Chains A and B, each alone.
Chain A
Amino acid sequence: MSLTDDRAALDQWYTLGALQDFPAGAEVPSRLLGEDLTVRRLTDDVEVRAAGRALPVRTDYGHLWTSFGTPERDLFELPESREPDRRWIHCGPVRVRASGLRLVENFLDLAHFPYVHTDILGSEAHPEVARYEVEQRRDVDELWATKCEFYQPKAAAASDEGQISKYMYRVVSPFNVMLYKTPPTAPDRWDVIALFVQPADEAVSVAHAFMLVIDLTSTDAELSAFQQMIFVQDKIVLENQRPSLLPLQPGRETPTRADLSSVLYRRWLKEKQLRFGTEPRTDLQSTDLPHA
């Protein structure tokens, strides 16, 4: 497989990982959108090259970002990264044999908590997904799901009892998503948990989870172990979805009201004409067949 020709995928920012994972002086191989890359960290600078060409680089939010094309917007805003009492926790990378779009969709999903994260993020006795709202914010081109609520036996590393957790989800680009969640210890603020997906190939992804949390009791190791345990449970599901690529063709899957964020996410991807990581469609005219 070689670099995709999918314009919508090329013109985006992607993370290659946390900056701390690229030691100074070393040359680290990486992969993005079907192409091999080399990352070289100099003292203050990072260089990313693909097929002899230097790619643009950003180092925001403790991560290394790059792009093959010309992104329409600069990197998304993350105001919480400027709050001094937030703890920055990196808990990746995890390699997953699935489309990165499947990873994002799973991240947006509440209904699996009782079954995949049993007795932690959900319980079989409380599987109901209450109505929530999803909107496309045209000014920033982001997708937001708000007013999400779910009963959780152990919502976070610092929880010692069940609670109704409030969530907001924010999709800032096809492969980058974050959630805001009420921390057990500071109910008036929001923890931020981000999932930055590095789509190495159409059906191979590297997940970089990142948290900006308010937690005065847990250690870094506890916070990261909690998130990793959750993600390992998700990985089992993600590698066993069929097809591995996200289907955009109507009727391939069966959404219900609880899947509203998935429905709007897929619509948003179609609007962008994104193909990388999506299942080839058979319902379009050959002239506009995305995988022609």
Chain B
Amino acid sequence: MADWIPIALSRDVPVGITRAVIVDTREVMIWRGEDGVAQVWEDRCPHRGMRLSLGFVRGNALNCLYHGWQYGAGANCLRIPAHPDLTVPPTIRANAYAATETGGMVWMSSDSADPPPLLPALTPVITLAIEAAPERVLAALGGSTAEPLIGLPFAGGTLQLGWHRAHAAKTMLHATGAGADIAAATAHLRALRQSLEQEAAA
């Protein structure tokens, strides 16, 4: 997997919320506790495999829906309710990815060898799912699969589009802009999506 990948708009993951995202066919989830820090984990509880995106956030912890196992921001399990007196061994932990936020997007990395990108604050526009291969979408928008961002000229300025591959035939675009007219940019992107999907289906 490429190094740092934008997987959502920060705006779409408010405090107290979980969100499921497919990244290159892998099920991952994002959650944000009261401390405001976005966490990106494998969407699977190590206990019995329940998807953690169906869990619930309380304070700075994520609780699995199935048996209520509670995980802290460091991904370690803090509490196993069936055994209230147990000190949970530190080896029990969710599978966390490296995560950061920049440019109004949540980013993840599997190896985090390189430092995360540093972008100016950008205004979130919209996340769009496009039923077309990333190669096709990036070629049409003038981007490159080697780069996590596409600069799309719009109304005299530029929209910065983060993108990630959901699977071979589905691309997710996370659109941001500095001072862009959000309604106009959204309409423009929706029209782009329509023509890309028509082309991909043809």
CB distance from B71 to the nearest CB of A (A): 12
B66 engages A237 (CB within 8 Å): yes
Closest to B88 in A: A256
A256 engages B44 (CB within 8 Å): no
CB distance from B150 to the nearest CB of A (A): 32
In B66-111, which residues have CB < 8 Å from any A CB?
66-68, 80-84, 86, 92
CB distance from A266 to the nearest CB of B (A): 11
Given contacts A111-B67, A112-B66, A124-B68, contact A256 B50 (CB under 8 A): no
User: Which residues of chain A are within 8 angstroms of B43 by Cβ–Cβ distance?
Assistant: 242
**A110 CA / B81 CA spacing, docked (Å):** 12
CB distance from A107 to the nearest CB of B (A): 13
B51 contacts partner chain A, Cβ-Cβ < 8 Å = yes
Given contacts A127-B68, A127-B84, contact A253 B46 (CB under 8 A): yes
Total interface residues on A, using CB and 8 Å?
27
B50 engages A240 (CB within 8 Å): yes
Q: Tell me which of A237, A254, A258 contacts B92 (CB under 8 A).
A: A254
A127 engages B44 (CB within 8 Å): no
**A212 CA / B80 CA spacing, docked (Å):** 34
Produce 1/0 per residue, A89-122, CB < 8 A to B: 0000000000000000100011110111000000
User: Which residues of chain A are within 8 angstroms of B65 by Cβ–Cβ distance?
Assistant: 115-116, 237
B82 engages A237 (CB within 8 Å): no
Total interface residues on B, using CB and 8 Å?
22
Closest to B92 in A: A254
B83 engages A256 (CB within 8 Å): yes
Binding site of A, secondary structure by majority: helix, strand, loop or mixed?
A: loop
A128 engages B47 (CB within 8 Å): no
A23 contacts partner chain B, Cβ-Cβ < 8 Å = no
A162 contacts partner chain B, Cβ-Cβ < 8 Å = no
Given contacts A116-B65, A240-B54, contact A128 B82 (CB under 8 A): yes
A242 engages B51 (CB within 8 Å): yes
A116 engages B47 (CB within 8 Å): no
Q: Tell me which of B51, B82, B84 contacts A256 (CB under 8 A).
A: B82
Q: Tell me which of A114, A237, A242, A257 contacts B44 (CB under 8 A).
A: A242
**A111 CA / B43 CA spacing, docked (Å):** 21
Q: Tell me which of A105, A114, A256, A262 contacts B68 (CB under 8 A).
A: A114
B67 engages A112 (CB within 8 Å): yes
Closest to A240 in B: B51
Q: List 19 A-B contacts (CB under 8 A).
A: A105-B48, A111-B67, A111-B81, A112-B66, A115-B65, A124-B68, A127-B81, A127-B82, A128-B83, A128-B84, A236-B54, A237-B50, A237-B65, A240-B54, A242-B27, A242-B51, A253-B47, A253-B48, A258-B67
